[in-house]
């Protein structure tokens, strides 16, 4: 266990010392983190001594039980005294110890707002063995690092990703507009805990919104191969019908897999924060089996994940078998918001 001591008073007083995470990173501590906004839970920390002021966060990032167990989120906690803390999972700490593999773009296919990107590994596939549901970080020259989940199964010489085009988003906008077959960049990973556990029994229910479909397709495709006796349900929600993608593949998959039940949910009801929860609940209520011995996987925006996780818990799912992949947004520094022209000027095409 690595214990970090943040001594509030040893340093000359600076006007804003910031969160525990900011203070640790400033001191060069390789603290695990991702969203920096209380959504992903990567910076979960045990408070050993001292006290902190905590800001609100999502329950999926830190549950009530965890709070009572003296756990905090480093990105949402400001020390008010000297503190001693330790992060939870040392395996995640040093991201640089993960494999960084060069890849070459094979195809970029647009389906509405989604880019389906296929890259070939420029290394032996054994260098990038991942568990279904995991993600890698994209390291594109001149751009901030962003995580994207594999939609393909492990062991292949290619990886597939589904990337939603966010207007003015640093990385997704670049991928949608400028990435072409033959371009090269690197992926680092794999990472993530919301992966398929083939040893688990009972039905498997996967609930996706938007490109949350990507990791769940990887999970479903792998489960079909590794545990063909399990009942599989995939619920895929989009706000509007025109945003649905990957439909042909889903139809083909369902047609060829009797154990797989695919439900498409469309709801144009605002607000996004309650995205489809009623329609998803309806689908879940219509299942012919109970969720009590089911493994449930949820992927999409943090608010969608949080609200659906609450629903499945209420419907009897075991908390330990609910695994969620919240596509939280990375914190963007003000000075990163440079003009597109300036950004493009920095990009190195490595074709």
Q: Which ranges of 163-317 does DSSP label H, i.e. alpha helix?
A: 170-178, 213-226, 247-256, 277-285, 302-314
Please state, in angstroms and rounded to a whole number, the distance separating the CA atoms of residues 110 and 308: 28
Alpha-carbon gap, residue 1 to 91, rounded angstroms = 11
Among 4, 23, 36, 276, binds ligand FES (CB under 6 A): 36
By beta-carbon proximity to ligand FAD, the closer residue of 68 and 96 is 96
- Taking the least distance from each CB to ligand FES, the nearer of 42 and 263 is 42
Question: Which span (41-49, 198-206, 245-253, 268-276) binds ligand FES, by CB under 6 A?
Answer: 41-49
Check: CB of residue 120 under 8 Å from CB of residue 106. yes
Query: CA dist 193 to 34, 91, 218, Å?
Result: 14, 11, 14
**Contact present, 123 and 205 (Cβ < 8 Å):** no
- Residue 43 contact among ligand FES, ligand FAD, none, beta carbon within 5 to 8 Å by kind: ligand FES
Indicate the residue among 79 and 130 with the shorter CB distance to ligand FAD: 130
Q: Minimum CB separation from ligand FAD for residue 283, in Å? A: 22
Q: How far is the CB of 74 from ligand FES (least distance, A)?
A: 6
Write down the least CB distance from residue 324 to ligand FAD, Å.
Answer: 10
Question: For ligand FES, which is the closer residue by CB, 60 or 114?
Answer: 60
Q: In angstroms, what is the minimal distance from the CB of 245 to ligand FAD?
A: 11
Sign of the CA dihedral 221, 227, 232, 235? negative
Binding interface with ligand FAD (CB under 6 A): 34, 40, 135, 146-149, 161-164, 166-173, 192, 211, 214, 325, 327-330, 332
Decide: 79 and 98 in contact? Cβ < 8 Å. Answer: no
**Residue from 4, 24, 42, 203 in contact with ligand FES (CB under 6 A):** 42
| Partner that binds at residue 211, options ligand FES, ligand FAD, none, CB closer than 5 to 8 Å by kind | ligand FAD
Contact partner, 265, from ligand FAD, ligand FES, none, Cβ < 5-8 Å per class = none
Residues between 43 and 82 with contacts to ligand FES, criterion CB under 6 A: 43, 61, 73, 75
Name the residue among 134, 108, 166 with its Cα closest to residue 332: 166
Residues that bind ligand FES (rule: CB under 6 A) add up to a total of 13
Site of interaction with ligand FES (CB under 6 A):
33-36, 38-43, 61, 73, 75
């Amino acid at each position: 266990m690595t214990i970090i001591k943040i001594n509030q008073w040893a340093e000359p007083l600076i006007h804003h010392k910031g969160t525990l995470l900011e203070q640790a990173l400033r001191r060069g501590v390789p603290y695990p983190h991702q969203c920096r906004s209380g959504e992903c839970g990567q910076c979960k920390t045990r408070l050993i001594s001292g006290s902190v002021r905590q800001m609100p966060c999502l329950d999926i990032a830190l549950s009530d039980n965890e709070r009572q167990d003296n756990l905090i989120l480093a990105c949402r906690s400001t020390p008010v005294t000297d503190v001693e803390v330790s992060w939870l999972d040392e395996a995640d700490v040093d991201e640089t110890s993960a494999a960084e593999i060069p890849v070459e773009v094979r195809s970029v296919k647009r389906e509405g707002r989604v880019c389906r990107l296929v890259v070939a590994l420029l290394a032996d596939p054994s260098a990038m063995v991942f568990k279904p549901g995991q993600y890698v970080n994209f390291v594109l020259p001149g751009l901030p690092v962003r995580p994207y989940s594999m939609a393909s199964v492990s062991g292949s010489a290619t990886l597939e990703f589904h990337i939603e085009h966010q207007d003015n988003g640093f990385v997704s906008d670049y991928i949608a507009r400028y990435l072409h077959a033959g371009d090269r960049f690197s992926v680092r990973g794999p990472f993530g805990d919301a992966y398929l556990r083939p040893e688990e029994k009972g039905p498997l229910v996967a609930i996706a919104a938007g490109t949350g479909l990507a990791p769940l397709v990887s999970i479903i495709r792998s489960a079909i191969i590794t545990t063909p006796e399990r009942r599989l349900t995939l619920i895929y929600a989009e706000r509007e019908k025109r945003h649905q993608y990957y439909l042909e593949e889903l139809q083909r998959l369902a047609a060829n897999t009797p154990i797989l039940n695919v439900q498409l949910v469309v709801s144009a009801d605002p607000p996004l924060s309650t995205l489809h929860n009623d329609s998803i609940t309806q689908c879940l209520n219509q299942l012919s089996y109970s969720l009590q011995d089911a493994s449930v996987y949820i992927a999409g925006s943090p608010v969608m994940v949080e609200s659906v996780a609450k629903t499945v818990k209420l419907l009897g799912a075991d908390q330990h078998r609910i695994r969620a992949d919240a596509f939280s947004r990375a914190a963007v520094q003000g000075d990163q918001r440079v003009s597109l022209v300036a950004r493009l000027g920095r990009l190195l095409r490595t074709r």
